[in-house]
Amino acid sequence: MTVEQQTTNLLGMDQTALVKLLDSWGDKPFRAKQLTRWIHQRSEADFANMTDLALAFRERLREHCCIEAPSVLSCHVASDHTRKWLFDVGGNNAIETVFIPEDDRGTLCISSQAGCTVACPFCSTGHQGFSRNLTVAEIIGQLWWARQDLLASNAKTRLDGELTDPSRVISNVVFMGMGEPLLNYDAVLGALRLMLDDHAYGLSRRRVTVSTSGVVPIMDRLARDCPVALAVSLHAPNDALRDRLVPLNKKYPLHELIAACQRYLTVAPRDFITFEYVMLQEVNDTLAHAKELCAIAAEVSCKVNLIPFNPFPDSGLQRSSSNRVHAFARVLQDAGVVTTIRKTRGQDIDAACGQLAGDIKDRTKLTQRRLAQASAHQLRDIAVTEVRS
């Protein structure tokens, strides 16, 4: 193959895209299902091993195509068995993916962007700025690689003489890693379709969750195109506070977000929206805030997930005390709102909620702007002090 020729990465192609490619070659559409099963169910990256495909067809695939996921830079396993991978996505960018094992499920938390433009002050990804959107192959590649790695690890430990059921290693996928999924909609939609495809990963719509900070128009598109479980990063019960904690609220305020949630519920695979609410000491954790949140819950069928804040350098924020979190939860529960307090997992390897940062080459210059603003505030404070003295 010459340097000028470029291969097509099949990892990010759903059956519709594969059928189109094969049709351009004059091949039968059923080959798309065969390829999908080899790539995603059997995690095969070598066309030579796809033995039920004609030899000439495999040669054409080898000449023009590849199956390539992002390469792994590192893998860390926490004391609670949470596992975090750092993936190289090129251009001096690295993204993070986390697997959280539980008794009844295995949840993979994946990234959709290298960085994030929403810039919530309690999220370390937002502090890193933004580089670019991930491709379908880079998104689905996290699942493709993690599944192989976990199966390989589990194969070393046999239970009653049998290997772990491959279909149960990763039972749930959540788009709660780096980035705002709905600001990379086309690639996220392509990845979702592969996750739900019975010839690929065969996940239920109820077991795939997209989390959003509230991109209202794209919430409506997701409802039309591929309604999966939805989580909304709420974090504040009124516009004034949410403008500070989730800057996107200035564009799509709470009344628009609540209306979008109500529309989504008409097609959602679950009969509730999950509201995520990070608990910040003396910022959004008062009983008055809890009562305001009860009013929102009265408008939207929801489950509230209270998330202990996981500190990171330069955030300037603190975690709410356990007593304060439980008092907040009691107000919600007494009002009949289904409320859970998220258990912090993987904190010793910086894999907990809000800690994912990867290594991003920031094109938005967010870090520089934040430092400049901090310096301006410091100079102003000094000036005020001098005047007062």
Q: What is the pLDDT of residues 98-112, one digit of tens each?
A: 999 988 889 999 999
C-alpha span between 80 and 152 (Å, rounded): 19
Q: Is 226 a catalytic residue?
A: no
Nearest residue to 194 (alpha-carbon basis) of 320, 12, 6: 12
Tokens 């909304």, residue?
232
Percent pLDDT > 90 in the chain is 73
Asked if residue 224 has pLDDT above 80, the reply is yes
Marked catalytic residue, from 96, 138, 180, 276? 96
CATH number of 71-371: 3.20.20.70
Alpha-carbon distances of 324 from 272, 284, 297, 313, rounded to whole Å: 26, 11, 20, 23
Asked if residue 388 has pLDDT above 50, the reply is no
pLDDT for residue 163 = 44
Backbone angles phi, psi at 52, to 5 degrees: -90, 10
Return the domain boundaries, the chain: 8-66, 71-371
Mean pLDDT of 244-260: 98
C-alpha span between 322 and 340 (Å, rounded): 13
Asked if residue 10 has pLDDT above 80, the reply is yes
pLDDT for residue 372 = 42
Q: Is 353 a catalytic residue?
A: yes
CA atoms within 13 A on the CB side of 254: 19
pLDDT category at 79 given cuts 50, 70, 90 is confident
C-alpha span between 38 and 293 (Å, rounded): 47
Asked if residue 378 has pLDDT above 50, the reply is no
pLDDT category at 312 given cuts 50, 70, 90 is confident
Strand intervals (E) in the chain:
8-9, 65-66, 71-77, 83-88, 94-101, 106-109, 113-115, 130-133, 172-175, 208-212, 229-233, 273-279, 302-308, 338-341
Are 172 and 191 contacting, i.e. CB atoms less than 8 angstroms apart? no
Q: Which residues of 137-146 are buried (b: 16+ CB within 10 A; e: fewer)?
A: bbbbbbbbbb
Marked catalytic residue, from 116, 123, 302, 353? 353
Tokens 């495909």, residue?
53
Asked if residue 322 has pLDDT above 60, the reply is yes
Quote the pTM value: 0.87
Asked if residue 360 has pLDDT above 80, the reply is no
Nearest residue to 224 (alpha-carbon basis) of 276, 272, 189, 253: 189
- Class (C level, CATH) for 8-66: mainly alpha
With DSSP H G I counted as helix, E B as strand and the rest as coil, what are the percentages for the chain, rounded to 5?
45, 20, 40
pLDDT for residue 19 = 96
C-alpha span between 254 and 234 (Å, rounded): 9
- Which H helix or E strand runs over 381? helix 366-388
C-alpha span between 59 and 227 (Å, rounded): 38
> Tens of pLDDT along 132-183?
999 999 999 999 999 999 998 876 554 444 444 555 689 999 999 999 999 9
pLDDT category at 225 given cuts 50, 70, 90 is very high
